[in-house]
Amino acid sequence: MRIGPLNLANSAVLAPLAGITDLPFRLLVKQSGCALVYSEMISANALVRESTKTLKMLDSTTEEKPLSVQIFGTEPAIMAQAARMVASSGADLLDINCGCAVKKIAKTGSGVALMREPKTAEALFRAVRRTVDIPLTIKIRSGWDVSGRQAIEFARLAEACGIDAIAVHPRTATQGFRGQSDWSVIAAVKDAVSIPVIGNGDILSARDAVRMEADTGCDAIMIGRAAIGNPWIFSRYLALKTGQTEPNVDLAMRIETMIRYVRAMVDYRGESRACHMLRSRLGWFVKGLPHAGAFREAIKSVTAEDEALAAIDTFCATLEKRSIPEHEIGATDDEGFAAAEDSGTKQQPAIAGPRNR
C-alpha cells in the first residue's frame, strides 16, 4: 500500500476520532500492527491562531509514525497556512476533513459541507497542494444523497487537484451515524479513481475488515469505533488476512495494555488531567467482562496514577481468583462497538452494525 511516495507496512488504518485518537491512544493501536494512524480533527483556524491546546494536538513520537494529521476548515488561505504548520510539525501525511457531519462543523462550510461546494473544495485542495509536499489525503462521506454520485464526482475532483488518497465513510451527510454504511459506494469510488481508496464504516470485527476488502476492492481498511478499547482488532485483521488464526487476547495482554495506556496518558497529560480522563476511558477495556461494573466504580474518582494501577491490579486479581474462562476474557467482535457506546463522546452514534451483511 502506497500513498504518494509513502510506503505503508500494511493496509490497516486507524480512523480519526475526535476526543479519542490522541497520542496515547494512537500508540496502543500502533502496537497492534496498524500501519497508519490519524490524529483527531484539528481546526485550521485554531492552529493558525496558535491556540496552545490545538498546537498540543500536533504532538507525536517516532513510535507512532507514520502519522496522518487531519485538519478542517473552509478558507483556502487559512487551510494552506495550517497545512504548512502541520508539515513543519513532522506529520507524514495531511488529511482534509470532508466528511464531518456534526452541525457545529458543517454549518461553517467545512467537513461534509465541502462536498456540496466543489468550487470551494477545489480552491482549498489546490491551495494546500501548492503549499505542502507531504502526501495529501481527504476523508469523505457518500455526499448528500444515497446514490453515492457525489462521492464519485468529488473523488475525481480531488484526484485532479493532486490528492494522493481518499478515505470513504459511505453514509450520507444527513444520515449522521444512523443506518448502515453502503459499502457499494466505496467500490464505486475505487472504480472511478486511480489513487488509493481507503474503505471505512461499520467494520466490527477482523472478518468484516477482510470482507470489506473483498467486496469493494479498496486498498486499505480504516477502523474507528471498533478499535476503542479493542486495539487488537488490527492484529486480528492482519492475521486473518494472511491466512493465520486470529490471535487470542488473554487477561495478561489486556491488563498489560491497560497499564501501558495509564502510563502513556500520565506521561502525556500529566497525572491530574490523565486521571480525570481515565475515569471513563479505562472502562473501554473491560466492557462486557465479569466484574466490569466494580472496576468502573473503583476508577470513577481516581486522582493518582497509583490508584488507577491499583484498581487494574484488583480487577486482574479478582478475575484470576475466580478462574474466569479464557473465552470470557478474550476480546470479542462486539467489544469495540460496545465500548464506543459507552465512551460518552457526543459524536458517538447508536450502533447499527452490518453483522449479517
Ligand X SMILES: Cc1cc2nc3c(=O)[nH]c(=O)nc-3n(C[C@H](O)[C@H](O)[C@H](O)COP(=O)(O)O)c2cc1C
- Which residues form the catalytic set? 100
CA 215 to chain centre: 21
Query: Strand (E) positions, 213-337?
Result: 220-223
Beta bridge partners, 168, equal 140, 199
Compare residues 8 and 138 and give the one whose CB is closer to ligand X.
Answer: 138
Q: Does 220 help bind ligand X (rule: CB under 6 A)?
A: no
The residue sitting closest to ligand X, measured at its beta carbon, is: 224
**Residue 37, SS3 per DSSP:** strand
Span from 127-135, 153-161, 194-202, 243-251 in contact with ligand X (CB under 6 A): 194-202
Binding string to ligand X for residues 83 to 122, with x set by CB under 6 A, is what? Answer: --------------x-xx----------------------
Q: Which of 36, 80, 82, 223 binds ligand X (CB under 6 A)?
A: 223
Does residue 203 interact with ligand X by CB under 6 A? Answer: yes
| Residues in contact with 132: Cβ distance below 8 Å, sequence separation at least 6, in sequence order | 83, 84, 86, 87, 94
Q: Which is nearer to ligand X, 96 or 286 (CB)?
A: 96
Q: Which of 8, 12, 13, 16 binds ligand X (CB under 6 A)?
A: 16
Of residues 61, 89, 314, 348, which one binds ligand X by CB under 6 A?
Answer: 348
Farthest-apart Cα atoms in the chain, separation: 63
- Give, for 68, the enclosing helix (H) or strand (E): strand 67-72
Q: Is 36 in the site for ligand X (CB under 6 A)?
A: no
**CB of residue 60 to ligand X, shortest distance in Å:** 16
- The verdict on 70 binding ligand X (CB under 6 A) reads yes
How is residue 123 written as a grid cell?
A: 480552491
Contact between residue 109 and residue 117 where contact means Cβ atoms under 8 Å apart: yes
Of the candidates 256, 254, 237, 255, the one whose C-alpha atom is nearest the C-alpha of residue 246 is 237
Contact status: 345 vs ligand X (CB under 6 A): yes
Q: Indicate whether 225 belongs to the interface with ligand X (CB under 6 A).
A: yes
Q: Which of 169, 190, 254, 269 binds ligand X (CB under 6 A)?
A: 169
How far is residue 75's CA from residue 164's CA, in Å, rounded to a whole number? 21
Nearest partner of 154 among 215, 218, 200, 96, judged by Cα = 96
12 interacts with ligand X by CB under 6 A: no
Task: Assess 236 for contact with ligand X (CB under 6 A).
Answer: no
CB neighbourhood size of 271 (10 A)? 16
- The one-letter amino acid code at 43 reads S
- The stretch near ligand X (CB under 6 A) out of 10-18, 143-151, 257-265, 278-286 is 10-18
Binding site for ligand X (CB under 6 A): 15-20, 40-41, 70, 97, 99-100, 139, 169, 200-203, 223-226, 345, 347-349
